Every structure is written in C-alpha cells, then in structure tokens.
Amino acid sequence: MSRGRRLTETECLSITRERSRGVAAAELAARYDVSLKSIYNAANHASERQVANASRSRVVGIRVSERDLKGFDAALGRRGIAHRSDAMRRLMLAADDILRPDETTEVPLVC
C-alpha cells in the first residue's frame, strides 16, 4: 500500500458519502490505495468543511411565472449580473434591509 498518495477533493467527498452509508474503512483504504488513517481523516475533514460552509450546501427552488422570470433576468442584465444564483445570494444577504418595514407607514408587510 502506498503511503504517499494524496486523495483528491472529489475522492474525499466520495469517501465521506460511502462512510456515512456504512462502507468499511478498510474496504475504502484498499480501493483508494491509502492508509486507514487517510480514510478517517478524509471523512472527518470533509464533514467539517460541510459544516463550515453550510450556507453554500443548500439548494433553494421557487416557482415563478414566465413573465416574472423574464423581468428578473432583464433586471439582472441591466445591473451586469450574469447568473441568477449570484443575484439570489445578494438578495439573501440583503434580506434584512429589504424586508424591514417602512418606518413612515404603520402597515406591516403581509406575505
């Protein structure tokens, strides 16, 4: 067994998934030609990365009309935003300001 081989990021994530399904560490070590310690480290470090980066690990989907989507895309184009996902991230980061009630009106927002 080679002791100097480094696992790729893709391999580390694959090992994490397989370990969570109950695949034995020894089986994975033989398959990837690395030590047991490398398997345990890969699984532990990958799970830590997912926790630290949880904001990027969720998928959010919504249904909108064709008209609304075209309007949204047009607004993105006017602002030079190339991807809807970038725009949605910006909207989520600005949600506190966007959703704050207008102080000049006493009427609460109804969703």
How far CA 54 is from CA of 38, 46, 47, in Å, comes to 24, 12, 10
pLDDT in tens, 19-43: 989 999 999 999 999 999 999 998 8
pLDDT in tens, 44-57: 887 666 554 444 55
Pure H helices in 1-111: 9-20, 25-32, 36-52, 66-78, 84-93, 95-99
- For residues 13 and 87, give the distance between their C-alpha atoms in angstroms, rounded to a whole number: 28
pTM given for the model: 0.43
Q: Where are the domains of the chain?
A: 9-56, 66-99
**pLDDT number for residue 43:** 85
pLDDT in tens, 57-75: 577 889 999 999 999 999 9
- The length of the chain is 111
